[in-house]
Structure 1
Amino acid sequence: LADKQFCVAEERSGHCAVVDGNFLYVWGGYVSIEENEVYLPNDELWLYEIDSGLWTMHLMEGELPTSMSGSCGACINGKLYIFGGFDDKGYSNLLYYVNLRTRNGTYRWKKITDFKGQPPTPRDKLSCWVYKDRLIYFGGYGCRKYNELSDCFDVHDAFWEGQIFWGWHNDVHAFDTNTQTWFQPTIRGGVPPQPRAAHTCAVLGNKGYIFGGRVLQTRMNDLHCLNLDTWIWSGRIHINGEKPKDRSWHTLTPIADDKLFLFGGLSSDNVPLSDGWIHSVTTNGWKQLTHLPKSRPRLWHTACLGTEGEVMIFGGSKDDLHFLDTGHCSDLLIFQTQPYSLLRLCLDCIGKNATLLKNQISWLPSKILPQVLKKITFWAAANHRQEKKAEIERQEQINVT
């Protein structure tokens, strides 16, 4: 295969990523160049095919969103929805979608303007639960006018001319994708989390979970839960035993009916984190994973659940974004959270040993031959990248010498 087939998506932080079918889709975000934040092109959609391990880039058409970071991306029925975000002109509260299951290979953005109801105020670094074809948003950092101030908003800074206030939210807004309607559900009980941003969320059953994030001048490690049917908050959930340290810009991924996978983030003392934890709803406890590499910290990355229970971490930064202008990543970290199927194990074995088995591969049933060829490509790409990385390290060592 030609080298150009082993391209990878550009490094970035603050982007959006979703999995639909056998593909991981990545859009937006930014990189730092000479202490300037540069937003990545709004007309590029990167696709990672899970079986083959190959990246491709597709140009997009239609009503393009502004190039932004901190937008909230979610997938419902094969459509990627993008809400909010931040660019050079400020915060957004616009909602866009693109059909990922296009038949002609053309990805076309559409701005949703014919909606009913009132959207949230402009913000970024918010989170989203997907439940019953609804996008349910919580929190974020943004701006409000004086007459929009309420108990769901903690003021961080103010620009008195024009009476504009910046700060953190803890309000809940929902968008019904079937009726194209925004609504703010009536919270019927419980104590909501403090207003925050750069937190993370996940859905298990009919419960929406929130963990950590930036609250005023500190970071948190609290866990909350909202019943998405009754709209009742749990209050801060009491944890049995050890728990993760305070953090923001981390991810939380559902990996089973009663388990959540937490990874990375930025600690209260501004240290990028590489730790992973699993929370069991059944036992109400956290368990730290001890075998994760400590040399691969990530913050403001994305995490998506793959087709066989693997958590796919893409992009983010390995440095504190508040103080450094480097460290954005383009690699894909894959955490296996459950045993692979027997078919997957066999396909990987053939892919890794394709040279040894080349004379027998054609004997395989025609039904699985395409899957085998994709796995051969996957491991060829993996070996190519490993060799390229080793060559770069050798060249750097020569230069140092």
Structure 2
Amino acid sequence: MNMQESQDFKPVGRRGVCSFVHNSSFYLYGGALSIPGLSAFRQTPHVDIEMLDMHSGLWSSVETEVLHSLPQFTSGACCAVLNDNLYIFGGWLAGLRNAHIHELDLETFCWKKLPINNPENGPICKDKAAMFGYGDDMMGVFGGYGYPENDAHARLEGRAAQYHRDTTNPFFSIYWTNELHLFHVGKSEWIVPVVTGIPPPPCAAFSITRVDPHRLVIFGGKQVNSRVNEIHILNLDTWHWSGVNLPSRPEEPWPVGRSFHTACSLFDPSAITPPYPPCGTVFEWLPCPTPDLAPCEPAVTVDPKVIVLWGMSNDADPIDDAWELNVNTLTWKQVHLPEGAGPKRAWHTASAYHPSPCETLVVVFGGTSENMYVVPDQQLTSISKPSLLHFGVHRLFELCLQYIIEDKILMSHHDHLPIPAHLQQQIREQVTSNQQLSITRL
């Protein structure tokens, strides 16, 4: 593995990027570029990934090794991290979609394509879906937009999901879907969970957020011809859908319908106490005992909260707002982002880093501030400058470092302060980080 780190290196702005946080670093992979005269539809997959060190604020390009093949997508894939491995599913490339799963070892940075023993039981080829980890050896995939593999006109009856055809294309059958699958990494098999309740209608380009060890919150997305503002909650302990959650009164604050937005938990999901204990049920459809989803560390008792950032309206214009959702009460309040948070955008990416259970750093990257249905793809301008949004309780240690950095007298003599060498190094890294990132504290 080769890594090039530099204060001058910056990732290229693009749309439909996969992002994730692992070991105090923020990573980017893939995405559709806009190069004058060259359609993003004709781009080839990326080879390297880009990493932002959350301590130093420096970007680096990480060269990866390919064992079998690279993920075949330029945009719209979904990803999740499990056991020091990145898993990527689906995506879009040159008008085609896929149902492949690729694994990237985050220690050796080596790609491999995972075998699938029962592809006929798996998802259709699609993009704009969502992925999440389940237990120690399974990945979940929900929703998306696509078609059956090898046969765009195949019959979809009999599947445990709904499919709504996109009638705008009379020559090719493409569907919105609410498929829900689990992929067992060790067995290389797809599993169709048995769920109860009312699932979301077929949708794509929504947000999915883990808010505690047992719950996923889905918001918004496009359902056939409309971008919605519905909330759906999936309980991973009981596999029960909450049904549609909408405002109970017309005057209740609630964000407008949107797609291509992002959402992140404002607390560390693994440290939050769920409102109910795990039931310990062993489901017959699982090939192994139900995973233990309980938090490993002492939990904090708070109402989980989700921040929703920007997105695309029903008119396909980028939406200039942000909202905070209290998951337990299903109430919203609008968050007024200062100018330093960056421009409004859609089809961007955002991932959360939790230095402590009640502190969150959300890194936002990419997307576009233009109407993607009006501006030709090859002329779209993608946003390249990342933004860092800070939420929650500031650590005392962090406040002390910032005080030293912002005090001109202390900084002029910081090399002579009676503090250990490793703290001197952290001060220098914090100075670099402040110079490299646009930090907005909320």
TM-score (norm 2): 0.78
Residue number in structure 2 paired with 1:81: 87
Contact kept in structure 2, 1:275 and 1:292, CA below 8 Å: no
Q: Find the residue that maps to 2:183 and give its secondary structure.
A: strand
Q: 2:174 aligns with which of 160, 166, 169?
A: 166
- Please give the per-residue CA displacement for 1:52-74, whole angstroms capped at 9, x wherever unaligned: 11111122221322242100011
Query: Residue in 2 aligned with 1:184?
Result: 192
Match of 1:316 in 2: 367
Larger mean CA deviation between 236-245 and 82-91 belongs to 236-245
Take 1:175 and 1:141, find their aligned partners in 2: how far apart are those partners? 19
Are 1:158 and 1:165, in contact at CA under 8 Å, matched by a contact in 2? Answer: no
Q: What is the Cα deviation at residue 292 of structure 1?
A: 3.9
**Pairing of 1:39-54 with structure 2 (within 5 A):** 39=43, 41-54=45-58
194-203 or 141-150: which moved more?
141-150
Q: More deviation in 202-211 or 345-354?
A: 345-354
Whether contact under 8 Å (2:218, 2:231) holds in the other structure is yes
1:354–1:376 CA contact under 8 A, matched in 2: no
Specify which of 201, 204, 207 is matched with residue 211 of structure 2. 204
Q: Which residue of 2 aligns with 1:284?
A: 330
Residue 59 of structure 1: aligned partner: 63
> Greater shift after overlay, 5-14 or 356-365?
356-365
Distance 1:7 1:333, change over 3 A: same
Do the aligned partners of 1:6 and 1:381 also contact (CA within 8 Å) in 2?
no
Contact 1:198 / 1:214 at 8 angstroms: preserved in 2?
yes
1:314 Cα deviation from its structure 2 partner = 1.2
DSSP 3-state at the match of 1:53: coil
Deviates more, 1:112-121 or 1:192-201: 112-121
Q: Which residue identity does 1:109 align to in structure 2?
A: W
1:120–1:173: 8 Å Cα contact kept in structure 2? yes
Q: Give the CA deviation at 1:338.
A: 0.5
Identity among equivalent positions (%) equals: 29
Q: Which runs of 5+ in 2 are unaligned?
A: 273-303
Equivalent position of 2:285 in the other structure = none
Amino acid corresponding to residue 303 of structure 1 in structure 2:
A
Counterpart amino acid of residue 127 in structure 1: A
Which residue of structure 1 aligns with residue 345 of structure 2? Answer: 298
Written as runs of structure 1 = structure 2, the 5 A alignment for 1:214-363 is 214-239=222-247, 241-256=252-267, 257=272, 258-293=304-339, 296-308=343-355, 309-324=360-375, 325-352=379-406, 357-362=411-416, 363=418
| Per-residue deviation, 1:127 | 1.1
Q: Which amino acid aligns with 1:369?
A: Q
Deviation readout 1:179-213 (Å, 9 max, x if unpaired): 433211112x2111111111111112312211111
The aligned residue for residue 155 of structure 1 is 165
Tell me the TM-score normalised to structure 1 length: 0.86
- The residue that corresponds to 1:120 in the other structure is 123
Question: Which moves more between the two structures, 365-374 or 340-349?
Answer: 365-374
Code of the aligned partner of 2:30: G
For 1:195 and 1:305, locate their aligned partners in 2 and report how far apart those are by CA, in whole Å: 27
Deviations 1:307-361 (A, max 9, x none): 3312111111111222223221112122222022011122233344578524333
Residue 270 of structure 1 deviates from its aligned partner by 2.1
Q: 3-state DSSP class of the match of 2:393?
A: coil
CA shift at 1:126, angstroms?
0.6
Answer yes or no: is the 8 Å Cα contact 1:28–1:40 preserved in 2.
Answer: no
Structure 2 Cα separation of the partners of residues 353 and 382 of structure 1: 20
Confirm or deny: 8 A CA contact 2:103 2:113 kept in the other structure.
Answer: yes
SS of the equivalent of 2:364 reads strand
Looking at structure 1, the residues matched to 25 and 433 of structure 2 have their Cα atoms a distance apart, in angstroms, of 14
User: What displacement does 1:89 show?
Assistant: 5.1
Q: Cα gap change, 1:218/1:160 in structure 2, threshold over 3 Å: closer, same or farther?
A: closer
The one-letter amino acid of 2:182's match is A
**Number of positions where the alignment pairs a residue of Structure 1 with one of Structure 2:** 375
Distance in 1, matches of 2:50 and 2:342, equals: 26
Please name the residue that 1:110 is paired with: 112
Contact 1:302/1:315, CA 8 A, preserved across alignment:
yes
Conserved? CA contact 1:39–1:69, under 8 Å: no
- Tell me which moved more, 210-219 or 115-124: 115-124
User: CA offset at residue 5 of structure 1?
Assistant: 2.3
* More divergent stretch after superposition (108-117 vs 19-28): 108-117
Structure 1 range deviating more: 296-305 or 125-134: 125-134
Tell me, in whole angstroms, the C-alpha distance in 1 between the residues paired with 2:312 and 2:135: 32
Check conservation: 1:157, 1:167, Cα contact below 8 A.
Answer: no
- Cα deviation for residue 113 of structure 1 reads 1.2
Q: Is the 8 A contact 1:214 1:248 kept in 2?
A: yes
Pairwise CA RMSD: 2.5
Q: Residue type matched to 2:364 in 1? A: I
Contact 1:352 1:376 in 2 (8 A): no
Counterpart Cα distance in 2 of 1:53 and 1:147: 49
Structure 2 match to 1:399: none
Superposition deviation, residue 369 in structure 1: 3.0
Please state whether the residue corresponding to 1:347 is helix, strand or coil: helix
Report deviation, 1:217.
Answer: 1.3
TM-fit CA distance, 1:26: 0.3
Offset at 1:157?
A: 3.9
Distance in 2 (CA, whole Å) between partners of 1:233 and 1:19 is: 27
Q: Distance in 1 between matches of 2:323 and 2:208?
A: 14
- Deviation larger for 243-252 or 5-14: 5-14
Does the Cα contact within 8 Å between 2:414 and 2:424 map onto a contact in 1?
no
